Copies of this chain bind each other. A is one copy, B any other.
């Protein structure tokens, strides 16, 4: 009780809370939360059946660990009044975060909305190290990362930090979310090292419909991500929404064309990837550029990411699910094009194409700063964790698949050849109902 009392709130419902904005942001928050299970399917379908549960758990567990870390610490570091580099400690343990208005929203709802961003960002990293990192160290890493890296970078851009002051534009997180996560993913892939059979054996997606499902739900949730970043049910939200519809459409179209040109086949995995790349690229620009610009941006953004995937798969870098190509390159393309295509008339400031070439520089600085800080801190965190516990399982475990060793389960079982283990330990308090089972007849009553 002593823990709870000092935090007891003292506000009355502020008049400044807008019911309509609250209505929209309740939904937007739910939509962004859904993106994490969606990611579990996008990633889970891409790995082999023996690692699908492990891969899904890498996203699911982020909802627990990162969510809690955000509420207790991360939110304060990102959004409590603070300096240029990091927020203050005023909101530690949600102190002062209640139902009074932050903007036009109940403060708690704003916190919850931002929590869903922290969760999905951390979960994105997993794609670079699937099928070969131990679950415990992974979870420790992304949780620490969400506090040490994500929260400060969010502060830089959205919490009034130095990038906000500089004027770097990042509507919904091209830099904060995607470049940031991709830099961590790159470092993680390098430190953890490639899968033992990488480059020797084909590692094929075990369930492509799951990949499509994940991409579909990601697109759906991304409307909350981008249009929700307006933090209100207004025209900017409508603009961001429309751009989130149009940009991935052109990315998808161009991706299918590139696939067709390269291999005469428009792959479904490619289509799902193209959608995600388009969503990533429009993220920083969504509320700042017009819809025609969004069509252009989406189409253009396909090229560097497509090339990056081709290069990566011929390289020794086992960024297994192409986090760098999709989120790093895609996020960078989007952030830079925001600096080109932004228009004051649509709600941003003008970009390079509209008379303010300097904006491009601010964008580049934002990307570089986030990438460098994230890479450096991720390196330090992973090295530290790697000192304490091994990051990778034994070769035998990796061969058998992580589902069995880390989670004690198989994703798809028939139960054939499974023998029930009767627990030896007696259960005195329930002995009468215990084993051996008195095979109860139908209608036991």
Chain B residues lying within 8 Å of A8, measured Cβ to Cβ, are 290, 343, 345
CB distance from A42 to the nearest CB of B (A): 12
**A24→B27 contact, CB < 8 A:** yes
Bound together, the chains give a CA A284 to CA B21 distance in angstroms of 26
B-contact bits for A328-350, CB 8 A (1 contact / 0 none) = 00000000000001010110000
**A233→B441 contact, CB < 8 A:** no
A67 at the interface (CB under 8 A from B): yes
**A24→B22 contact, CB < 8 A:** yes
**B7→A423 contact, CB < 8 A:** no
- Interface SS of chain A: helix
CB distance from A324 to the nearest CB of B (A): 12
B-contact bits for A423-445, CB 8 A (1 contact / 0 none) = 10001001001110111111111
CB distance from A105 to the nearest CB of B (A): 7
A406 interface neighbour in B63, B199, B265, B272, Cβ under 8 Å: B265
**A250→B48 contact, CB < 8 A:** no
Chain B residues lying within 8 Å of A201, measured Cβ to Cβ, are 415, 418, 420
Chain B residues lying within 8 Å of A258, measured Cβ to Cβ, are none
A154 at the interface (CB under 8 A from B): no
CB distance from A203 to the nearest CB of B (A): 6
A112 interface neighbour in B68, B241, B423, Cβ under 8 Å: B241
**A49→B414 contact, CB < 8 A:** yes
A213 at the interface (CB under 8 A from B): yes
List A56-107 residues whose CB lies under 8 Å from chain B: 56-57, 60-61, 63-65, 67-68, 71, 93-94, 97, 99, 105-106
B-contact bits for A172-203, CB 8 A (1 contact / 0 none) = 00000000000000000011111000111111
**A108→B238 contact, CB < 8 A:** yes
**B266→A135 contact, CB < 8 A:** yes
- Report how many copies the assembly holds: 3
CB distance from A256 to the nearest CB of B (A): 7
A346 interface neighbour in B9, B265, B293, B354, Cβ under 8 Å: B9
CB distance from A378 to the nearest CB of B (A): 11
**A245→B67 contact, CB < 8 A:** yes
**B314→A430 contact, CB < 8 A:** yes
Q: Which of A11-19, A120-128, A160-168, A365-373 contacts B (4 or more CB under 8 A)?
A: A11-19
List A190-227 residues whose CB lies under 8 Å from chain B: 190-194, 198-210, 212-213, 215-217, 219-220, 223-224, 227
Chain B residues lying within 8 Å of A108, measured Cβ to Cβ, are 235, 238-239, 241-242, 291
Q: Which of A32-40, A145-153, A356-364 contacts B (4 or more CB under 8 A)?
A: A32-40
With A60-B271, A192-B442, A413-B204 known to touch, is A212 a contact of B22 (CB < 8 Å)?
no
Bound together, the chains give a CA A224 to CA B293 distance in angstroms of 27
Bound together, the chains give a CA A444 to CA B263 distance in angstroms of 33
CB distance from A384 to the nearest CB of B (A): 13
Bound together, the chains give a CA A109 to CA B235 distance in angstroms of 8
**A442→B411 contact, CB < 8 A:** no
**B37→A213 contact, CB < 8 A:** yes
Chain B residues lying within 8 Å of A199, measured Cβ to Cβ, are 420, 435, 437, 439
A142 at the interface (CB under 8 A from B): no
A159 at the interface (CB under 8 A from B): no
Chain B residues lying within 8 Å of A269, measured Cβ to Cβ, are 409
Chain B residues lying within 8 Å of A252, measured Cβ to Cβ, are 60-61, 63-64
**A220→B52 contact, CB < 8 A:** no
Chain B residues lying within 8 Å of A17, measured Cβ to Cβ, are 234-235
Pick the most buried of A202, A227, A233, A345: most chain B CB atoms within 10 A of its CB: A233
CB distance from A350 to the nearest CB of B (A): 11
Chain B residues lying within 8 Å of A242, measured Cβ to Cβ, are 108-109, 111-112
Show 23 residue pairs from A and B whose CB-CB distance is below 8 angstroms, ordered by the A residue: A1-B353, A7-B290, A8-B343, A10-B345, A19-B233, A26-B27, A26-B238, A29-B245, A30-B224, A34-B216, A56-B268, A60-B252, A61-B256, A193-B440, A193-B443, A194-B439, A200-B420, A202-B420, A208-B410, A263-B408, A265-B407, A316-B437, A316-B439
4 further contact pairs, Cβ within 8 A, besides A18-B20, A44-B209, A52-B209: A26-B223, A193-B444, A209-B411, A317-B433
3 A-B pairs closest in CB distance:
A37-B216, A265-B408, A19-B20
